[in-house]
Amino acid sequence: MWTVSWSEQRRTPVFLIRALRTLWLVTCWMLNLSDEEYSSYLRLIQDLSYADDSSKYHISQKGSKYMKVMTVVGTIRPEELGITQIHEHICVDLRCNSPQCPGNVQGSSQEQRVDASNIDILHQDPYAISDNLVLDDEDLAVQELSRFKGAGGNTVVEMSNTGIGRDAQFLRRVAKGTGLNIIMSCGYYVAKCHPKSVETMTVEEIAEQMLAEVLEGADGTDIKAGIIGEIGTSEEILPQERRVLIASATVHKKTGLSIAVHLCPGAGHAFEVLDILENEGVDPSRIILLHLEDSLSQPSFLSDCEAVAKRGAYFGFFAFGHVYSNPRWSIPPTTDDDRIRVLLTLVEKGFISQILLSCDVCFKMNLFKYGGGGYGHILINIIPRLRQLGFSDLEVNNLLIDNPRKLLSF
């Protein structure tokens, strides 16, 4: 399915590029070209130059000339991504995933607002206060993301989708307000959060709806998705979740976009998810398994990571800064020390080219304003620790630049 483009098979000689540029300038002068003709020639020269400068990144899908990345303000080249956190939430509403259904939250938790007086409650159960499950303050989003940018960050992948509060216009305004590249997702989260209509939709209908968000725009806008995700799975992969997974494979095959899948913590679905997607023709190198790290305390964790890596899929550590209990999960909480320790082991085993890092900011308590690490936590706190432990610039760039770029380019 994936084919190496002409420019990778045969690098355009530099002397030819320079000659064509010169010819273009002379032609413009001699023929007195119109603006439209001038632009046409310019695009031709830029395309040839791009093929020369970036040939090592050209793995294009059939029918596509060169690789690109879709952000909420339009397409960019892969090398413009820079430092990227591939699993974050900027505008999200996870009340649908609360143990207490929206509108039925018990006691005063529905009215409470997150502040210093109740953060300790949230560390015992992040779902205890419904306000913690909503991020919808545009000014605060700009402020929080500015810490990430100030620390050297360039790109954030927003994994919210239909049913969990995604707002395309909100994301575009935040992108413009921060100057960051923001990449929007398409698809559906866990079944509890699916719109009612998904229960009866066929694979083809789901795929058609998702494809429209990639090719035309989402939420009634012209803002296009640049990744498929965060596709949800519950403790048992439910029939409608399975249909969404298969539909995701269909959209991937038509667009080349990577697929990011939410693994229910502790459920052990990694290989079942890979089987479903591979059986539908998805190359594992275009699959990201989210939350595999939540099983870090399990004896099989390292061997599971090795098996996932050997199949070609990506995984990683997507919850740096999260340290709290969750009574719904039968697994102990994971700390940043735990994540770093296992990350070092996996890097030593040679799997760095398939590991990703992110913070998965999805609760108010994760934000810097409320005492969390915020979006800048990895760059401000974790990377300095990795460097102290001997990580080279090349290794850091692998995790934060090269690996995300491979996945986000299509």
pLDDT digits (tens, 9 = 90+) for 353-378: 999 999 999 999 999 999 999 999 99
Spell out the domain ranges in the chain: 2-60, 69-408
Q: Specify the pLDDT at position 52.
A: 38
Q: Are 69 and 183 in contact (CB under 8 A)?
A: yes
Residue listed under structure tokens 């098979």? 9
Asked if 270 and 292 count as a contact pair (C-beta separation under 8 A), the reply is: yes
User: Mind listing the pLDDT tens digit for each residue in 131-157?
Assistant: 999 999 999 999 999 999 999 999 999
pLDDT band at 344 (very low <50, low <70, confident <90, very high): very high
State whether residue 181 is helix, strand or coil: strand
Q: How far apart are CA 402 and CA 21, in angstroms?
A: 30
Name the H helices within 256-402: 270-279, 301-311, 336-348, 377, 383-388, 393-397
User: Would you state the structure tokens that stand for residue 244, as one six-digit string?
Assistant: 């969404």
pLDDT-based confidence at 31, cuts 50/70/90?
Answer: low
Residue indicated by tokens 């994540």: 339
The domain 69-408 belongs to what CATH superfamily? Metal-dependent hydrolases (3.20.20.140)
Which position has the token pair 């795929």?
A: 207
Regarding pTM above 0.85, the answer is no
- Check whether 33 has a pLDDT greater than 60: no
